[in-house]
Structure 1
Amino acid sequence: MRPWKVLRRFSVRSLRHRLILTSLVVVLLPILIVGGVLEHQGRQALIEEKQNKLFTLARILDFELGAGGFDALIAALPSGWDDRDAAIAYLNTRLEAVTDLVAQAEAGIGVGYYSKRLDVIVTYGPSPLYDTTIGQSIAPDHPGRQVMATGTPDIAFGSLVRGQVLNAMWPIVRNGEVHGYIWANEFTEAVERQQSVIDRAVLFSALGGLLVALLIIQATSRSLSNDVGVIVNGLQHLKRDLRRPIPPLRDELGAIVDAINAMAKDLLDARSLTENILVSVADGIVAIDVEGRVTAFNPAAEALYSVSADRVIGRPYHELFVDGTDMNSVLLDTLETGRTHIGVTLRMPHSDPSLKITASSSVLRDGDGHRIGAVVVLKDVSERDRLMVQVMQADRLAALGELTAGIAHEIRNPLTSIRGFMQYLAESKSTQDWQEYGPLIIRQVDSLNHIISELLAFGRPRPPRIGRVRLNQIAKEMVFLAQGRSEARIELDLADDMPEIDADGEALKQALLNLIINALQAIDAEGSVTITTRRQGADRVTITVRDDGVGLSPQNLEKVFDPFFSTKPEGTGLGLAMVHRIIASHDGSIRLDSTEGKGTVVTIVLPITAPNAQEKPE
């Protein structure tokens, strides 16, 4: 069986076993890591200590050789280097005492000299053991040859002249020339014995630490397991009764218990609050689970359905209220499809026909987002609708009164002028007075006729004559007509990708010309008006009229589209109202943004294809 499967089977037995296993892993890994590091560092320290000792012995022998090296010793030999055997014997005689003395420093140590010129071992101490090696050459692959070739000290493990040794080799350098090398070595068996001592010490320390840790883990896990058992049992009781707290504990687990008890109390308070809200709310609330059984039914729902909650809780909603009726249940539809319904008007079975109910349903989900049922909120809007009818009637009467006041104001001024002229002319016998004031009276009558004409056009608008029109062309034509009315600059910023739209071209011309004239009247001779067209998405276009004129105050901004409201002394107040009506008849929208002293922006949004595009013009 694989190791992780064994651990998995063991770990599911109990929390205590999992704690022990986890703690052992947590403790064992550092012990193994520390033990391995200590063992490695101990070996490295031992090797470094051996290296330092052997190189020290080699340097001592180098010092004892003197500044002249082999050449200074051979100088005393009459035959010199010419007689090889004599040179080997002479060097051995002179250096053997030194190597034997150094070799006695520690048991198992071997030291000696090697002559590069003679290519032989000239001495090897202790000599009683290794004098047979005198006059031998080292192998071609011996590391000593690399030391003589590079002049660099080296150390090596391996099987050399006297067996498996740790061999430190020191080059004999005189006057920049390598004359040979000195070695100091020690059997690896001695090194390994010392390394074994270190390994045993590390192993025993690790086992001791592991045993102590196991005892501590055992005691700690037993105590922790007992405390956790108290929490588990307490949670089981809390599932049945939120009023039964978990017994207090110490330390961090005590803080957890306090938090759980506090959460249980908050949950109990929230449940009580939810129940109180359901009881107190004036709207009917019905909730069902995923199987369609009723789980909540507040008193307002009892009044709407004329049934008590005790009779419906836990029973299928479909059987109680839908079977045998033509009622369309938004609650069951939401449960089945997940669709949300907002403000759907319902007819409650067996209820007063004058009762008007709206239903809003949504899906109920748990904390993980899983569907657990559906809920519907039933609102009696009968009284609200009655109040809305009264408010609408009052608004209509107020609008009618405001409209009547506006008409009276606009007609009274010309009538007053006419009456004054007629009074004057009635007392005058001069034909010249009649000739002078007659045209004035006619102009006032024409003004009255203009007001009445605009009022009739506003009150009886004709349906739009829909056709394919080019908005850019309409903008160019209206700018051409308006340029003669002011010296101000009119600029066009027309999009190249503007499509033809379904609209009443003449009505749009009237609306756009009205907006341009209003903009020109709001600026001085140095001001400017900009007309911009743009495509908005796939199905709409916009046209914007922007000026840098006097702008409107915030209190006037809300009234600009009201009939007979005007900020101009000679205005009738019907122009923007007509523009608003024209745009609304095209299923478009108009927005006016203005800042007093900075200018005004009017934005019109129109559909490319009007809903009544198929209608034929009358």
Structure 2
Amino acid sequence: MRFAKLFSRLPVRSLRHRLILTSLVVVALPIAIVGMVLEYQGRQALITEKQSKLFALARILDGELGPGFDALLADLPTGWRDREAAIAHLNAKLAHLTDRVAQADSGVGVGYYARRLDAILTYGPSDLYGGTVGRSIDADHPGRRVMATGEPDIEFGSLVRGPVLNAMLPVKREGEVIGYIWANEFTKDVQRQQGVIDQAVIYSSIGGIVVALMLIQFTSRSLSNDVGVIVNGLKAMKRDLHTPIPALRDELGAIVDAINAMAKELLDARSLTENIMASVADGIIAIDVDGNIAAFNPAAEALYAVRAEAVIGQPYHALFVDGTDMVSVLLDTLETGRTHIGVTLTIPRTDPALKITASSSVLRDGDGQRIGAVVVLKDVSERDRLMEQVMQADRLAALGELTAGIAHEIRNPLTSIRGFMQYLSECRTIDDWKEYGPLIIRQVDSLNHIIGELLAFGRPRPPCIGKVLVNRIAEEMAFLARGKSDARIDLDLDADVPEIDADGEALKQALLNLIINALQAIEERPSMDADADAGRSVTIATRRHDADRVMIRVSDTGVGLDPKHLKKVFDPFFSTKAAGTGLGLAMVHRIVNVHNGEITLDSQEGKGTVVTLLLPIERPRTEAPA
């Protein structure tokens, strides 16, 4: 790791030079290591060879000694008693042996040492070292250690004749060390031979590095040229994908083939993308991180009445009408990263103004980094026109159903009033009028109630929007409804539900209608045992549904609805209750729609009903791109 950091700091940026440096390190380091190992092993082999030779000479002298010094002194009358005479006698017997061995290998010195006499007996060649005969070795001489331990030893050191490599062999006779034999060679001779080995290793290493450098130079030049072809080809390909990189050989050739294949696939993908962009009926606009237009398909050209060539690279703001305060979902997505789906907008440049839906999202590269944003614009003017026609037809159909419902609701009281009046027209006493007059009044009041609800449904007042606390409205309506039934009303209110933009009075009316319907559904359920009656309850729950909406849920344990009635529950004058007008849920549905909310009803016959309202937290703004 440290080497890589150090290498990255070198002022070498050329691939060829970096390859040469790297190869030199890779080649020179092993050669140097091998050279050091060879030099070390050569030195060790030389020392081992010297040791073997010197010990071999010492063993020869040991064999030539025969039974030992006692046998050689047998013909000396004084024997061991006269030290000087014994040394001279033994030297005379052994000097020719040590001289012969020393003369056989130039530079080698050999000799005998007698432990009993504590003296050098011979030191060949005698003409050089004969003067040392009779001398005792020093107290710290390694020869004394050899005689004491009885083990052979070899040592570099400055001894009797100077710095030598000295091999010492103990002389043992009848289990007793009687002296030792040495064979040595000057250190300078050993070092000279080691120097020869070192020179051979150094010259071989240098030669290997030079040859490697030449091969590296040739290979790097060839590789650098091939890499240059790839680099130049990539630069040309960046401008024009139709320009392939020239073919190369070996692995680089495979890389070039892969790059050319990827370029062709990219060219095909780009062509496919361009064809798709050109053939899509929806307008597609992409901008980069700076808000400049990067893509503008033909459908977008038709929507904005401009050519792509005139706006590519220009700020997206350039498409907006001058002096108009408008909001763009595309720029909002670029700035905040928030995705917009199906936002209804208007393009006022056309006459009449086009109505579109816009869906925008963030564009990211392969690493997940934001590189811009894209918006898809769908012209829904014709769709809305057709929907308006369909809605008009639905309204006409609903008007027919409404007329039939009104006729049915009014006919029953009128029939009763007509029957009472026919009966009273034939009566002669005031008592009959007193008996049937209140009945006629109640039927007229019923007609008036129907007309009042119909007017409220047909001509709703415009909403009065303000900040509303949903939980407070739920608590108030639950309190008002508790006296209308003995069923339990439970509150499950989330404290995190925020204030919303809504008409508080309209929401109170809608929620109260839902609670009353739930209580009536519970009352219609047959009474059972006490445990079952304890489960007769209405639950009002509030939650934050998502980032933009809150939820109000009213659930009951009432009789539920037949599945075949679920599609008609919000229709005017549809009711499963004998005395119901069918305008309550229709009114709730209208109030929720006015608030741009959603209402769903889920009911299981015999188990209960759940009505869920989803209301926006904030009143939606009117947005329109230029």
TM-score category of the 2 structures, normalised to the smaller one: 0.5 to 0.7
Is this contact kept in 2: 1:15–1:225, CA < 8 A? yes
What stretches of structure 2 of length at least 5 have no aligned partner?
Answer: 398-483, 494-518, 533-559, 565-601, 615-626
Is this contact kept in 1: 2:329–2:358, CA < 8 A? no
- Find the residue that maps to 1:101 and give its secondary structure: helix
- In structure 2, the CA distance between the partners of 1:577 and 1:170, relative to structure 1 (3 Å rule), is farther
In 2: Cα distance, 1:343 partner to 1:93 partner: 125
- In structure 2, the CA distance between the partners of 1:354 and 1:60, relative to structure 1 (3 Å rule), is same
Report the residue type matching 1:188 in the other structure.
T
Aligned to 1:51: 51
Task: Choose from 605, 609, 614 the match for 1:581.
Answer: 609
In 1: Cα distance, 2:609 partner to 2:81 partner: 131
Aligned to 2:100: 101
| Superposition pairs of residues 136-151 of structure 1, within 5 angstroms | 136-151=135-150
In 1: Cα distance, 2:563 partner to 2:374 partner: 50
In 2: Cα distance, 1:256 partner to 1:121 partner: 81
Aligned to 1:256: 255
- In structure 2, the CA distance between the partners of 1:150 and 1:343, relative to structure 1 (3 Å rule), is farther
Report the residue type matching 1:357 in the other structure.
T
- Find the residue that maps to 1:214 and give its secondary structure: helix
- In structure 2, the CA distance between the partners of 1:335 and 1:468, relative to structure 1 (3 Å rule), is closer
- In structure 2, the CA distance between the partners of 1:578 and 1:102, relative to structure 1 (3 Å rule), is farther
Post-superposition offset of 1:145: 2.3
- Find the residue that maps to 1:81 and give its secondary structure: coil
Post-superposition offset of 1:467: 5.1
Post-superposition offset of 1:272: 0.8
- In structure 2, the CA distance between the partners of 1:117 and 1:466, relative to structure 1 (3 Å rule), is farther
Aligned to 2:476: none
Aligned to 1:11: 12
Aligned to 1:182: 181
- Find the residue that maps to 1:288 and give its secondary structure: strand
In 2: Cα distance, 1:462 partner to 1:57 partner: 128
Aligned to 1:65: 65
Is this contact kept in 2: 1:227–1:249, CA < 8 A? yes
- Find the residue that maps to 1:124 and give its secondary structure: strand
- Find the residue that maps to 1:21 and give its secondary structure: helix
Aligned to 1:234: 233
In 2: Cα distance, 1:462 partner to 1:348 partner: 57
- Find the residue that maps to 2:609 and give its secondary structure: helix
- Find the residue that maps to 1:166 and give its secondary structure: strand
1:362-382 deviation per Cα after TM superposition (whole angstroms, max 9, x unaligned) = 1x2334444322222334568
| Superposition pairs of residues 335-350 of structure 1, within 5 angstroms | 335-350=334-349
Structure 1 residue 23 corresponds to structure 2 residue 23 = yes
In 2: Cα distance, 1:208 partner to 1:48 partner: 28
- In structure 2, the CA distance between the partners of 1:30 and 1:124, relative to structure 1 (3 Å rule), is same
Post-superposition offset of 1:25: 2.8
Is this contact kept in 2: 1:358–1:381, CA < 8 A? no
Aligned to 1:316: 315
- Find the residue that maps to 2:139 and give its secondary structure: coil
Is this contact kept in 2: 1:290–1:372, CA < 8 A? yes
Between 175-184 and 339-348, the greater mean CA deviation after superposition: 339-348
Structure 1 residue 159 corresponds to structure 2 residue 163 = no
Is this contact kept in 1: 2:357–2:378, CA < 8 A? yes
Aligned to 1:194: 193
In 1: Cα distance, 2:485 partner to 2:238 partner: 71
Post-superposition offset of 1:165: 0.7
- Find the residue that maps to 2:158 and give its secondary structure: strand
1:382-418 deviation per Cα after TM superposition (whole angstroms, max 9, x unaligned) = 8889889999x99xx9xxxxxxxxxxxxxxxxxxxxx
Aligned to 1:119: 118
- In structure 2, the CA distance between the partners of 1:322 and 1:37, relative to structure 1 (3 Å rule), is farther
In 2: Cα distance, 1:7 partner to 1:122 partner: 70
Is this contact kept in 2: 1:345–1:359, CA < 8 A? no
Is this contact kept in 1: 2:342–2:359, CA < 8 A? yes
Report the residue type matching 1:230 in the other structure.
V
In 2: Cα distance, 1:124 partner to 1:577 partner: 129
Is this contact kept in 1: 2:284–2:374, CA < 8 A? yes
- In structure 2, the CA distance between the partners of 1:117 and 1:463, relative to structure 1 (3 Å rule), is farther
- Find the residue that maps to 1:223 and give its secondary structure: helix
1:415-458 deviation per Cα after TM superposition (whole angstroms, max 9, x unaligned) = xxxxxxxxxxxxxxxxxxxxxxxxxxxxxxxxxxxxxxxxxxxx
Post-superposition offset of 1:187: 0.7
Report the residue type matching 1:69 in the other structure.
G
Aligned to 1:568: none
| Superposition pairs of residues 431-442 of structure 1, within 5 angstroms | none
Report the residue type matching 2:27 in the other structure.
V
Report the residue type matching 1:32 in the other structure.
A
Aligned to 1:83: 82
1:109-135 deviation per Cα after TM superposition (whole angstroms, max 9, x unaligned) = 011122233322222111121111112
- In structure 2, the CA distance between the partners of 1:174 and 1:167, relative to structure 1 (3 Å rule), is same
Is this contact kept in 2: 1:10–1:17, CA < 8 A? no
Is this contact kept in 2: 1:298–1:309, CA < 8 A? yes
- Find the residue that maps to 1:232 and give its secondary structure: helix
Structure 1 residue 466 corresponds to structure 2 residue 490 = yes
Report the residue type matching 2:173 in the other structure.
R
Is this contact kept in 1: 2:561–2:603, CA < 8 A? no
Post-superposition offset of 1:156: 1.1
In 2: Cα distance, 1:381 partner to 1:121 partner: 124
- Find the residue that maps to 1:256 and give its secondary structure: helix
1:197-239 deviation per Cα after TM superposition (whole angstroms, max 9, x unaligned) = 2222222222323333333333333333333332222222212
Post-superposition offset of 1:168: 1.0
Is this contact kept in 1: 2:348–2:354, CA < 8 A? no
RMSD: 4.2
Report the residue type matching 2:15 in the other structure.
L
Post-superposition offset of 1:240: 1.4
Q: Which has the higher contact order (CA 8 A, sep 6+)?
A: 2
Report the residue type matching 1:42 in the other structure.
G
Is this contact kept in 1: 2:321–2:349, CA < 8 A? no
- In structure 2, the CA distance between the partners of 1:303 and 1:85, relative to structure 1 (3 Å rule), is same
- In structure 2, the CA distance between the partners of 1:563 and 1:85, relative to structure 1 (3 Å rule), is farther
| Superposition pairs of residues 350-365 of structure 1, within 5 angstroms | 350=349, 355-362=355-362, 364-365=363-364
Is this contact kept in 1: 2:79–2:86, CA < 8 A? yes
In 1: Cα distance, 2:173 partner to 2:183 partner: 20
In 2: Cα distance, 1:300 partner to 1:462 partner: 63
In 2: Cα distance, 1:15 partner to 1:468 partner: 72
Structure 1 residue 40 corresponds to structure 2 residue 68 = no
Give the fraction of aligned pairs with identical amino acids, expressed as a percent.
Answer: 66
Aligned to 1:557: none
Is this contact kept in 1: 2:340–2:358, CA < 8 A? no
Structure 1 residue 332 corresponds to structure 2 residue 331 = yes
In 1: Cα distance, 2:262 partner to 2:212 partner: 36
In 2: Cα distance, 1:63 partner to 1:316 partner: 109
Is this contact kept in 1: 2:337–2:361, CA < 8 A? no
Report the residue type matching 1:183 in the other structure.
W
- Find the residue that maps to 2:285 and give its secondary structure: strand
Is this contact kept in 1: 2:340–2:360, CA < 8 A? yes
What stretches of structure 1 of length at least 5 have no aligned partner?
Answer: 398-459, 470-503, 518-560, 566-573, 588-618
Between 308-317 and 212-221, the greater mean CA deviation after superposition: 212-221
Report the residue type matching 2:89 in the other structure.
Y
Aligned to 1:554: none
Report the residue type matching 1:247 in the other structure.
P
Report the residue type matching 2:262 in the other structure.
M
Post-superposition offset of 1:264: 1.7
1:481-508 deviation per Cα after TM superposition (whole angstroms, max 9, x unaligned) = xxxxxxxxxxxxxxxxxxxxxxx9xx9x
- Find the residue that maps to 2:489 and give its secondary structure: coil
In 2: Cα distance, 1:380 partner to 1:373 partner: 23
